[in-house]
Amino acid sequence: MTDRPKIADYMARNLVMLTPGMEINRALHLLLGHRISGAPVIDDSAQLVGVLSKKDCLRAALNASYYQDWGDTVANYMSTDVQTLEADLDIVAAAETFLQSAYRRFPVTQEGRLVGQISRADVLRALAEHWG
């Protein structure tokens, strides 16, 4: 039996990164401009501290429409309870994790360090290439 592919074989490595102090309006435009549904939020020491999704940005946009002010930061809207996947996890286990979760993407870590991001589409591509 051949080895199953790993998350590291299919994850995105060149990520759009956000910071907690970034203006939410700027973060929203980065997500829209790069056509991504979310991005990791890292602190000054490059540690993962959260994730900001388009849904989070929608909440910010709704607040801005009420108050006519985009002055808030990413820190006020990002999710801080972040589930990650390990880079060496096999792709079948990753698919099972996606099926048990509402998340569309997971940050990928290796030895505690953020090294990439894996999406549902990445996992589907891996499964199709190897068993389709």
pLDDT tens per residue across span 89-119: 999 999 999 999 988 889 999 988 899 999 9
CB within 8 A of 26, min separation 6: which ones? Answer: none
What does the DSSP 8-state code read for residue 4?
P
Q: What is the pLDDT of residue 132?
A: 62
Asked whether residue 105 is assigned to any structural domain, the reply reads yes
Q: What is the pLDDT of residue 2?
A: 55
Mean pLDDT of 35-46: 90
Q: Which of 87, 90, 124 is nearest to 104 (CA)?
A: 124
H or E, element range at 107: strand 105-110
Q: What is the pLDDT of residue 64?
A: 82
Asked whether residue 2 is assigned to any structural domain, the reply reads no
Mean pLDDT of 67-80: 86
Total domains present in the chain: 1
Q: What is the pLDDT of residue 1?
A: 43
Q: What percent of the chain has pLDDT over 70?
A: 97
pLDDT tens per residue across span 51-61: 999 999 999 98
Domain of residue 120, residue span: 7-131
Asked whether residue 52 is assigned to any structural domain, the reply reads yes
Four-point Cα dihedral 54, 122, 18, 101, nearest 10 = 60
Asked whether residue 117 is assigned to any structural domain, the reply reads yes
This model's pTM is above 0.85:
no
Q: Would you say residue 88 has pLDDT above 80?
A: yes
Asked whether residue 124 is assigned to any structural domain, the reply reads yes
What is the rounded distance in angstroms from the CA atom of residue 129 to the CA atom of residue 132?
A: 6
Q: Which of 102, 108, 129 is nearest to 4 (CA)?
A: 129
Strands 48-53 and 85-86: unpaired
Return left, alpha or beta for 15; rule: phi > 0 is left, psi -120 to 50 is alpha, else beta: beta
Q: Would you say residue 63 has pLDDT above 90?
A: no
Asked whether residue 35 is assigned to any structural domain, the reply reads yes
Asked whether residue 71 is assigned to any structural domain, the reply reads yes
The CATH number that applies at residue 118 is: 3.10.580.10
